[in-house]
């Protein structure tokens, strides 16, 4: 009989720093049977903690995302609609093809001047105060402003949207999660309808409404809502954590902070190392075995759930020597913070761009930047990796 590791019973220590637990599990074997915390559903699942096994699993078509194939429908799919994170080929291929027609590399690159402008305005407001919660004053408003402007979300709606989004990503109960999805579905329906009524617009959501493939294929209303959900929620929550975790890592490793200040050519490497060392997503969203398969000698039966531990994989000493060290000169290429394979994060180029701009501007304009007390509580569950607040001074 397989021993089950109850992640929910590991307590505050695990939430604050799960890496020693993952290291202990990984030293035993790369795949374990676990019970997820209540915030993540509380169900039993397989958890992959080894790097090679995780990278292979992320690209393995036998590990599917569309739960309806085994009679399961997630809340987001039930209340929002089919989207990239709940689809398999050929449906996933079709959806990704339609979104990449509008969300191009060029479009992301063209956002840099506006991202810089938003960053400068936020720092203009924050810096005269001498101290602040970095999340509230900077790491949250930057990506939410960027993604809302990109998609055409009115400024008046953004405060309410933040609350709904937070309730979706870090719910306090099953009831609060369902309520958040209901409110989000209603909001997205109204937003899409207003775009249709307004006629041709330049924002990404308006373009998605108009996007048509060569064969005449278009996104259905449910698919549009699902696409807006993924772009809006995943498009800012992860970047908030990435910026915050990167700053936290730098401030708790003064030698690395000094090295970056002395040579801003290390900035790209800093972002990649921050992604590897404390990425914004602790484990990838659920997959299930579409057929029986074996991973590292462990038999996984058809229909069983599988979680791929991104944070665990990126601290595997077999791939990254001295993995618990934060080293901005390390070659961090190959990390799986943004996933791998067909579900590799669509917004990775935008997240990297925003984080580079944010770190450079913050460090250049706040030369005395330092922690101003302990970070807030780490987020519950094993999906997102981040803190609720980060007090800093300069």
60-90 tens-digit pLDDT: 999 999 988 888 888 888 888 888 999 999 9
How confident is residue 1, by pLDDT bands cut at 50, 70 and 90? very low
Q: What is the pLDDT of residues 238-293, one digit of tens each?
A: 999 999 999 999 999 999 999 999 999 999 999 999 999 999 999 999 999 999 99
Strand partners, 309: 283
What pLDDT score was predicted for residue 213?
66
Residue 27 neighbours by CB distance under 10 Å: 10
What pLDDT score was predicted for residue 367?
93
Radius of gyration of the chain (CA): 21
Q: What is the pLDDT of residues 183-214, one digit of tens each?
A: 999 989 999 999 888 877 889 989 888 887 66
| 215 pLDDT above the threshold of 70 | yes
What pLDDT score was predicted for residue 282?
97
| 372 pLDDT above the threshold of 80 | yes
Task: Over range 30-58, report the average pLDDT.
Answer: 95
What pLDDT score was predicted for residue 163?
82
Q: What is the CATH number of the domain that holds 356?
A: 1.10.630.10
Query: Percent of the chain scored above 70 by pLDDT?
Result: 99
Number of domains in the chain: 1
What pLDDT score was predicted for residue 11?
87
Q: Helix, strand, or coil here: 135?
A: helix
What pLDDT score was predicted for residue 26?
97
DSSP 34-83: EE--GGGT--EEEEE-SHHHHHHHHT-TTEE--GGGGT---HHHHHT---
DSSP 95-119: HHHHHHHHS-HHHHHTTHHHHHHHH
Q: Helix, strand, or coil here: 379?
A: coil
Q: 321: which DSSP letter?
A: S
Distances (CA, A) of 233 to 76, 104, 237, 275: 12, 19, 6, 19
* Closest of 381, 311, 345 to residue 48, by C-alpha: 311
Would you state the structure tokens that stand for residue 49, as one six-digit string? 């903690």
Query: Percent of the chain scored above 90 by pLDDT?
Result: 68
Burial of 193 (0-12, 13-18, 19+ CB in 10 A): exposed
- Which ranges constitute the DSSP H helices of the chain? 11-16, 19-28, 51-58, 75-79, 91-102, 105-109, 112-126, 134, 141-151, 158-169, 174-198, 204-210, 221-229, 235-251, 254-262, 267-278, 310-313, 348-365
| Backbone dihedral angles phi then psi of residue 217, each to the nearest 5 degrees | -65, 140
Q: What is the pLDDT of residues 125-177, one digit of tens each?
A: 999 999 999 999 999 999 999 998 998 888 878 888 888 887 887 777 778 88
Residue 274 neighbours by CB distance under 10 Å: 27
Q: Do residues 304 and 46 make contact, with C-beta atoms less than 8 angstroms apart? A: yes
**How does strand 391-393 pair with strand 131-133?**
antiparallel
Domain ranges, residue 82: 4-393
| Mean pLDDT taken over the chain | 92
How confident is residue 363, by pLDDT bands cut at 50, 70 and 90? very high
Give this prediction's pTM.
0.94
Q: Residue count of the chain, please give it.
A: 394
| 313 pLDDT above the threshold of 70 | yes
Longest distance between any two alpha carbons in the chain, whole Å: 61
* Closest of 167, 199, 169, 170 to residue 183, by C-alpha: 167
**How does strand 31-35 pair with strand 4-6?**
parallel
Would you state the structure tokens that stand for residue 322, as one six-digit string? 């001295």
Alpha carbon distance 254, 322 (integer Å): 18
* CB within 8 Å of 134: residues ≥ 6 apart: 244, 247, 390, 391, 392
Alpha carbon distance 152, 173 (integer Å): 30
């Amino acid at each position: 009989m397989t021993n089950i590791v109850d992640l929910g019973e590991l307590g505050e220590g695990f939430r604050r720093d799960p890496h020693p637990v993952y290291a202990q599990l990984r030293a035993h074997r790369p795949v374990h049977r676990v019970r997820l915390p209540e915030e993540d559903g509380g169900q039993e699942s397989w958890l992959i903690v080894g790097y090679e096994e995780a990278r292979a699993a992320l690209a393995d078509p036998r590990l599917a995302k569309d739960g309806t194939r085994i009679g399961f429908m997630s809340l987001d799919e039930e209340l929002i609609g089919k989207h990239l994170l709940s689809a398999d080929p050929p449906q996933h291929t079709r959806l990704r093809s339609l979104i990449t027609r509008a969300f191009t590399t060029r479009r992301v690159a063209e956002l840099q001047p506006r991202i810089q402008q938003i960053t400068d305005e936020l720092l203009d407001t924050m810096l005269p105060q001498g101290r602040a919660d970095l999340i509230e004053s900077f790491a949250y408003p930057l990506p939410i402003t960027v993604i809302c402007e990109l998609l055409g979300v009115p400024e008046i709606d953004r405060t309410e949207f933040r609350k709904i989004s937070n309730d979706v990503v870090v719910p306090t109960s099953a009831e609060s999660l369902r309520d958040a999805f209901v409110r989000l579905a209603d909001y997205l329906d109204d937003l899409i309808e207003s775009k249709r009524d307004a006629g041709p617009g330049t924002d990404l959501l308006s373009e998605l409404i108009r996007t048509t493939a060569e064969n005449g294929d278009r996104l259905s209303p449910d698919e549009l809502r699902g696409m807006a959900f993924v772009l809006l929620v995943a498009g800012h929550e992860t970047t908030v954590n990435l910026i915050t975790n990167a700053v936290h890592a730098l401030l708790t490793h003064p030698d690395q902070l000094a090295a970056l200040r002395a040579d801003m050519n290390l900035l790209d490497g800093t972002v990649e190392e921050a992604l590897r060392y404390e990425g914004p997503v602790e484990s990838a969203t659920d997959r299930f075995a579409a057929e029986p398969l074996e991973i590292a000698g462990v038999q996984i039966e058809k229909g069983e759930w599988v979680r791929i531990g991104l944070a665990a994989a990126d601290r595997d000493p077999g791939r990254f020597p001295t993995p618990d060290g934060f080293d901005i000169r390390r070659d961090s290429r190959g990390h799986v913070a943004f996933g791998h394979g067909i579900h590799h994060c669509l917004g990775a180029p935008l997240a990297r761009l925003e984080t580079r701009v944010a770190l450079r501007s913050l460090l250049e304009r706040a030369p005395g930047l330092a922690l101003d007390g302990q970070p807030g509580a780490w987020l519950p569950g094993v999906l997102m990796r981040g803190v609720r607040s980060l007090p800093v001074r300069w």
